[in-house]
Each structure stands twice: as structure tokens, then as C-alpha cells.
Structure 1
């Protein structure tokens, strides 16, 4: 039996609320030419819309039947109100297809009530028990087993850890979780187990009750710069009065050389996808994390070579987040009429809405710099890029596992879901002048998807350092003791199929800050972008 591939096409809606977007006179002819040359990548439903608008009812019905009988299209309301298909309403076949769509909807609704679609089937309360200081051994083993099973059936990136024998790892960790003496120590082992998958979107999270033990950190930020761990931000007046400032090098942490400390106490618990991702997690996100109750002893070296010992303290995670918070969207006009836009978070749609509302002013600029160096993700606002392109273009491809128990029983190959995502232009008002995107290893998840789409569009250049190399849609599961985990289920790629997960998106111009830049407050990547644009 030949392997079946289900090709899914995702269209990002930017200019119309109807199902078929932006069709215009001549669209059917263009599509027909593309199909004859094997260049068309569009869904059966949208193909039907194109041909209906072109007046070719036979081809329109050919593809509409594919949408109904092959793709199981089930949205009766949308098809009946889709103006693109109005010319088909009086044909005898129309009512037959509407009836078939209604039947598809009935089947879909019945399926949604099936036991496998009941949320508690996969997240039953039997395995999501309340937090206690020390959950039972049975709960500990059940939690490890649940995580192992969910990873086995859902994790999409096993090919990136070819030497990992996951079943052997599971067996090795059973006695280790049984030996833990508290829920705190249990979750440390669970986090370590999950880290073996080397995926930034596959993680174990401790219960909220343990936040102050796992996630407390001081009000400063460190980073690896030129092989040295430097302080790059201080957000506490007490620390400033002690003389701690950006540019100082961390020599030791709690009596150990900083890299030795990071390797011994931090690295085993980091789920990272690339070397640059690991470095960021080690020396920026997690180096000084730990228990709120425990002070941190640092030895720092200043720019003049003077060493000094300091004792600093962690604060609660919510306090630190509040003190270090930045606006999701920053916009200003720089010298040379260059629009600088920092998009620092996609957790909400603030950045997308702000870009759209400011686009009139942005469009008057001679060039645009989009800065996503500090954006850890959220939900990718592809709409932003629709302002930068003249016509519809592919921005992303992806694949996911399509596990079929029967295929396995029949000894057939397992199948995969694959798709290509298409982005529409805003039309005549699009921005055609130079664009630069700034990236770093902190550019992650949804922000990395935006960079991948930008690169796929070939719309401008990327300046900075490689992105973190991790994105994808995780499935979230509950664990005993009120913890949780997430498992990456989809592999996003560039539109041409090039992988960046496990690698990172490489910049067109590699620019990294130096220790001297940090001490002097110089933004090396931004200055490089300005130099590039001034030479255009």
C-alpha cells in the first residue's frame, strides 16, 4: 500500500471575511495556467471559488465535489452565503452538494461527541491530582508513564534526537522518581527527564505552589557575551547602590566558576533545541534562578579588573516579571526617516493592532527596522507581513504526525499531515521600501515563525545572531501533584521546506554585541542595520 499524504493548505485571511479571498477577474485563467504547470497550491474549495468567478461551472463543481467528498467540507452556512459561488446555486448539482455538506456536518458533530474527543479522556482527574508536599509513589510513576506515553505518540521531533532510546530512558527514570522524597524533588527529576528530548517546546512545569522554589530570580539580567557571562541589566536600586552595573563579569556563583556552576546545576534541567538556545537558557534565563529562600553569592569583575564579592537575593517570579516588563510594541522614527519598530511580545495581539494603527505613519518612512530580538513568542502575527508584500505568497510549510492505529496493525507506514501557509497582501497600499529584521537567540517560538515567514518572502535582510531554533504547537497535559507538561506536535519550516527547528534561522549579516558595547550602552545590531540602510 502506498503511503498517503494529506496536503493541507492554510490561507491567512487579511482582506476579506469570506472563505475565498481576493479573487478578481482573470483569476480562473491564471489558476488554470498554474495548474497546467503544476504550480498551483490551493485548497479544493478555493479552487472552486476561482473557477466559479471565471464562469467555468464544470471545473468549479469538479473541485467543489472534491472539497465535499474528499476534504469533508461541513460549513453549510459559509457555502450558502459565499458570494463567489452564487453562479452555481441554480445548477441541479448544487442542492445535492448542500445535502452532502449537511451530512458531513452531522458526522462531524457526532464525532465531536465521541469518547476520544471528550477532554477528560486524555486528562482524567485520576492522573491530575491536587498538590501535596509529597505525592505518592504510585502518582509519581503514573506521571512519568503518562508523560512517556504522550511523548511517544505526539512528539514530532524524534528525528532530531536519533541516538535517544526513549524507552530505555523511561525505564531508567522509574526508580529515580520512586526515590524522590517530595513533590519538589519529583518535579526536578521530571524536568530532567523531559530535557533529554532537547526541544524547547517540550517541557515539564512544576506546580504553581512551587513557583518560589523553581522560578524565583534576582532583579538583574545576565548574558553570555564574547565567552564571558556579563550583567546586561540591573533593575533594582539596592543592587545599583551596591555598585552592580551592566558590563560587570560574573566570575563565580556560590563559590563555583560560573560555567562550572551552570553546567552542574542548571544545564541538566534545560529543554533546549540548539546550542544558542542552551546558552541563552543557561546564562540569561536560568543561571540565577532557584529558591526564594536562598541567597546568591557572586564574585564580579568590573571593567578595570577589580573583583568584589556580593550577596544578592531573589524575588518572586511575579514581582520580577512586573519590574522587567516592557511594552509589546515600540515605534519611533530614527535619523534618515527610518521607522524603528520593536515587537517584544506576541502573547497578546497588541503588537499587531499597534502596527496596523500606525501603518500610515510607518509607510511614510524611507525604510523599516523590525526588532524581534527580545520576543519569546505567543501567537504569530503574520498579518504584519501582509503590509510588506505586493501579492499572495507562501510563507511557511509544516508537517505533523498522523498516527493511525489500524495502519500500524496492518504493518503499513504511518502517515503525515503536511501543509503550506499562504499570505495575502493588503493590496495597493503595501510598503515596498527596504526592510531589515533584527534577531537573536532570544527570538523564539511565534517570533521565530515571523522571521521564517519574512525570510521565505525574501522581503529584506536579517541582521543579528541566529534565532533560538524552536517553534511548534504543543499539546498540554496535566500531571499528578497539579503540575503540567507540553509536547511539540508540529514541525514548522520555511516555505521551501528548509528546516530551522534544531538549527535556528541564520542572519544574512552576523552582528553580535561585544563586552565593550554592553558597557557603553551601544546597540551593535541596530547600528549595523542603520549603516546598511544608509548605504542603500
Structure 2
């Protein structure tokens, strides 16, 4: 009986006029691609707030990539064109809301190691705990010689912008880490040098862990001696974290100090969650960061800036707090860190954070319908220090085996006055 019903349904469907059947989206016309590109270019031109830090010639971006539009006949080709155009900003806080199978992984959320040029060599400076790079033995201090058999300097060339007035150190570092992160569809082979010997490491085997990141919960919490510990699992954009954090902090309410671990928050988050978390650590309302919107000043000649406040929430935790940070503390994680430090509510231990620029705003292309994000507001510590320039005053001792940051935090809290 069921088979007969299904057969009848299919016959009726086939008998319907073509316009009534489900149809794939019609391909865009050249004029629609042009309209989307113009919208993209103008939006970035008018609203991106860090051009003064860049060597990007944005007017030339319009010329170089606009000239490629006549050859664009598919969505994937257009995505790649916009990816390349946006990469001219070499800004890890700017990106598209879509990608292709062979797109570069996002920084820092899509990488498990960080490198920097030191005395002309590409040196690993941080490795993400619990991921493939650490599992296969990549360690800070190793020299990165090649990626997938391509020497580093050669691997960088296609990742450096075509419109840069000069290739500065910041552009080279972004390109270096894009090469290190790799693409979504290709397993990486990293050639490193350590102790004078070369080694081949395969961080994406047997599985590309970065493509399927799963966390057991929004956070992890436990008591270590008399000290409470809460580690956020990249969930600062999930409003459910507020209840989970409240519950964990209530259970740890009798501890003599708290470690708030933000070292695995590369995906950023939202200010509702951030203010909720900080609010449980305060007893009075305080400003935690300064905003500035340059677009308004460019258009009207009137500077606009303001302080954002955090209000205390019920059952405040009043004991000493240490925040742990690192290269995978990004965006909203950086905001919480700088905010708690500004309000003198926490001691910060760690290395440089992700140093993402400002606060992003999302836009949607009128025809292609996918979005893109760019920083439109500059963010500062309350005293005026740009958020991306903040560096913790206390750095963990890397010679200590195990989790040096946590060890230093526990040592500090165990000697702190209540």
C-alpha cells in the first residue's frame, strides 16, 4: 500500500508544470556578480577601521579583482575571488561566512600551532594543547622548514597580497601561519628542524582533527586543593554558557581563589556572555573596555568613542582570580581578559593572545546571499591601550614540565592574601 502511495505521489509530481517543481537557484548574471563585488568593496572601504595599520592599497584591490569578474561564472569562483580580495587586508578578524573545500583554515580557530619569524627563520612559538600538532611532537622552538614539501619562503609567496605597497612583518606572519594551518581538504606534512636534525610530522593523520572539533561540554570545572578551576571550551558565543558558568562558580564558591582558563577560546563570542561571566566576579559596576568608531569620524569629522560597563550579578565571587591566556584566546576572550585586568579584578598569566583587531560587524551580499565580517570598531583597554597590543605581565616558565601556566597560577593563588 505504501509503495503504491509513493508511486502515485511521484507521478503527480512529474505531471506538475516545471515552475512548480523544486528548482536549484538560478546562476547569477555578470551584472549581479558585479553588484555584489561593488557592495563588498564599498562596505570594506567605508567601514574597515584598521587601514592605517595596513600596507593595503584598497583602491587597487578594486582594480585587480574587479578585472577578474568577467571570468566568474559560478558561486565557487566568486567565493574564491572574494577570499583573495579580503586576504589583502591580512587581518585574521576579517572573513567570509562560507568557504570552499580547498579554502585556507581560519586563524586562529583552524590551526593547532603558531609560528613567527625570528632572525630570518620560521620558528614555532606555540602549540595548541590536545590537537594534532602536539600529538605528533611539534614543540615550541622547532624551526618550520617546509609545508607539504614546499620550502617556507616559497609557500608564502601566493599568500602575500598583490596590492600591498610593501610587504611588512605583519603580512609575512599572517602568510606564515596560513601556510602552517593548511587547507580544509589536504593533510599537512610539516618539515621541521630540531637539534640540527630534520623531521617529518603529520598532524592531520589518521584524522584531520581541526575539521571536526568536538568538546565534551561548554566548560570544565574542578577544585584543585583549595583553588577553583574553570576552563571555557570555546563557548563564549553560546548563551547557555552563562547558566553553566553560574552553576560551576556556585559549586566553587568556598574556594580560596579561582583560575579562569581562556586558552581554548579561539572562536570569539558575544558581549552578553562576556559581561555575564565578568559580572559574577564584581561587586560594583565598572567600565571594562573603550570603543571607537572611525567611520563616523571619517564621514562627519566628529570622533565617537564610549566606555562599555559591566554590572555585578547576584552571588559575586570575591576571592582572588587568575586568568590563563595564550594564542588561542581570541576576540571576546581577549575582551574578558583585558576587561578583568582593567578592573583590577584578575591577574593575567600567559603569552600573547590572538591579537585580533577590534569588534566585527557582519554584512550580507545582496545577490550571492553569503556574508562577510570585518572589524568596524577599535577596542581599547579603559586606559587607552589598544586591545590587540595587550601582553600579560606574567609569563609561565616553559622549562617546567606539564602545564606551566596552571602551575604558576596555583602558586600565585596559594600565596595570595584573601
Q: TM-score, normalised by structure 2?
A: 0.73
Per-residue deviation, residues 92-132 of structure 1 (Å, max 9, x unmatched): xxxxxxxxxxxxxxxxxxxxxxxxxxxxxxxxxxxxx9586
Matched, 1:443 2:329: yes
1:199 — aligned with what? 91
Matched, 1:400 2:286: no
**Offset at residue 463 of structure 1 (A):** 0.7
CA distance in 2 between partners of 1:265 and 1:474 (Å): 28
**Is contact 1:253–1:261 with CA below 8 Å preserved after alignment?**
no
CA distance in 1 between partners of 2:203 and 2:359 (Å): 40
What does 1:61-76 correspond to in 2, within 5 Å? none
Matched, 1:328 2:218: yes
**Offset at residue 149 of structure 1 (A):** 0.9
DSSP 3-state at the match of 1:476? strand
2:407 — aligned with what? 527
Structure 1 residue runs of 5 or longer lacking an equivalent are 1-128
CA distance in 1 between partners of 2:207 and 2:136 (Å): 17
Per-residue deviation, residues 485-534 of structure 1 (Å, max 9, x unmatched): 12222222222333224x2x2102133747xx7xx6x2122122222223
Cα distance change on mapping 1:281 and 1:423 into 2, 3 Å? farther
**Is contact 1:300–1:310 with CA below 8 Å preserved after alignment?**
no
CA distance in 2 between partners of 1:458 and 1:508 (Å): 13
**Is contact 1:512–1:524 with CA below 8 Å preserved after alignment?**
yes
Structure with more helix by fraction: 1
Q: How large is the RMSD of aligned CA atoms in angstroms?
A: 4.1
1:152 — aligned with what? 45
Out of 302-311 and 394-403, give the one that drifted further: 302-311
Structure 2 residue runs of 5 or longer lacking an equivalent are 1-23, 163-167
Cα distance change on mapping 1:275 and 1:392 into 2, 3 Å? farther
Cα distance change on mapping 1:342 and 1:359 into 2, 3 Å? same
Cα distance change on mapping 1:418 and 1:358 into 2, 3 Å? same
DSSP 3-state at the match of 1:193? helix
CA distance in 2 between partners of 1:473 and 1:220 (Å): 21
**Offset at residue 423 of structure 1 (A):** 2.0
Cα distance change on mapping 1:277 and 1:511 into 2, 3 Å? farther
DSSP 3-state at the match of 2:327? coil
Cα distance change on mapping 1:277 and 1:359 into 2, 3 Å? farther
CA distance in 2 between partners of 1:438 and 1:371 (Å): 5
Aligned mate of 1:252, from 146, 163, 174: 146
Larger gyration radius, structure 1 or structure 2: 1
**Is contact 1:464–1:512 with CA below 8 Å preserved after alignment?**
no
**Offset at residue 221 of structure 1 (A):** 3.5
Count of aligned pairs: 373
Cα distance change on mapping 1:383 and 1:137 into 2, 3 Å? same
**Offset at residue 146 of structure 1 (A):** 1.3
**Offset at residue 332 of structure 1 (A):** 1.0
Per-residue deviation, residues 215-245 of structure 1 (Å, max 9, x unmatched): 679x993443992378756768xx99xx945
Matched, 1:492 2:370: no
DSSP 3-state at the match of 1:150? helix
CA distance in 1 between partners of 2:192 and 2:124 (Å): 12
1:56 — aligned with what? none
**Offset at residue 193 of structure 1 (A):** 1.9
**Offset at residue 478 of structure 1 (A):** 2.1
Per-residue deviation, residues 127-152 of structure 1 (Å, max 9, x unmatched): xx9586xx655444333211111112
Cα distance change on mapping 1:233 and 1:469 into 2, 3 Å? closer
